[in-house]
């Protein structure tokens, strides 16, 4: 099966066991006077961990919104330390995993509403 056939076959399907992943198609718009579409790769925020620089992460999102720059999420948006997690994050995180998810959704929602969030990859 070639790439085009694979995309056509799997387009719009959710990531449910036994079913292929959902694929998004996005045509990036090139701004006037540019020869390329701008894209920010955004991730490894680890919201909730003490060393998370959430202000810098939010500033990048604001930049994307203000300048209409596309964003591709690279994963590890929240810390989500649990009792069985490797490391000490479960003891040091500032927010519980549910609050981390809610806060991250609030941060990313404006990008999605503007059509600038072209995809999110899961973390480890």
- pTM for this model (two decimals): 0.75
Element (H, E) at 41: strand 39-42
Tens digit of pLDDT for each residue in 74-116?
999 998 887 777 777 778 888 888 999 999 999 999 999 999 9
Q: Helix 54-67 and helix 97-113: axis angle, to 10°?
A: 20
Tens digit of pLDDT for each residue in 34-53?
899 899 999 999 999 999 99
- The DSSP code for 23 is B
Instruction: Give 43-69 as a DSSP string.
Output: ----BTSTT--HHHHHHHHHHHHHHT-
Phi, psi of 118, deg, nearest 5: -90, -10
């Amino acid at each position: 099966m070639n790439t085009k056939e694979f995309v056509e076959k799997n387009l719009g399907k959710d990531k449910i066991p036994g079913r292929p992943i959902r694929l998004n198609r996005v045509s990036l718009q090139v701004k006037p006077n540019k020869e390329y579409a701008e894209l920010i790769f955004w991730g490894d925020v680890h919201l909730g961990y003490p060393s998370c620089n959430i202000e810098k992460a939010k500033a990048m999102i604001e930049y994307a919104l203000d300048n209409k720059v596309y964003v591709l999420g690279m994963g590890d948006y929240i810390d989500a330390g649990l009792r069985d997690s490797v490391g000490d994050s479960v003891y040091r995180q500032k927010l519980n995993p549910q609050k981390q998810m809610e806060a991250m959704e609030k941060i990313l929602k404006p990008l999605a509403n503007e059509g600038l969030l072209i995809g999110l990859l899961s973390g480890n």
